Amino acid sequence: MPDPALWAALADPHRRAVIALLRTGPHTVGEIAQECELSQPSASKHLKVLREAGLVRVRQEAQRRVHTLDPAPFAALDDWLAPYRKLWGERLDALGRRLDARPDTTEPTTPKD
């Protein structure tokens, strides 16, 4: 099971917005704050939580700190969710088959002149 810090980090909608932005590529704190409509201190706090959960990496480029996603925790989360996806896929397929097997009980409607 993924680390509880991962779940806590993903629970916040602002952090999910930061993750969605970082999916497009590396960003600085300023860019993240602007794009996610956060103050810079708020963006920094959210990034700290994401870093501590292992979801985000940071590297120094001259005077800038550039943030990127770390794919490893997402792969672990995907692995953990796989059996549930399979379970729900099978159940939805069974529901679809059951609905397809039902006779059509609706009467055709004819337009009135």
- Phi, psi (degrees; rounded to nearest 5) at 68: -135, 160
Q: Which residue in the block uniquely carries the two structure tokens 């700290």? A: 48
Mean pLDDT for back-to-back runs of 10 residues, the chain (113 residues): 84 96 96 96 96 94 93 88 85 86 71 64
For residue 16, the one-letter residue type is R
Of 30, 5, 21, 7, nearest to 81 by C-alpha is: 7
- Rounded to whole angstroms, the Cα distance separating 58 from 48 reads 10
Cα Dmax for the chain: 77
Tell me how far the alpha carbon of residue 28 is from its chain's centroid: 20
The predicted pLDDT at position 25 comes to 96
Token representation of residue 44 = 């920094």
Query: Is residue 28 helix, strand or coil?
Result: strand
The predicted pLDDT at position 91 comes to 83
The predicted pLDDT at position 111 comes to 67
Q: For residue 93, count other CB atoms closer than 10 A to its CB.
A: 10
The predicted pLDDT at position 85 comes to 84
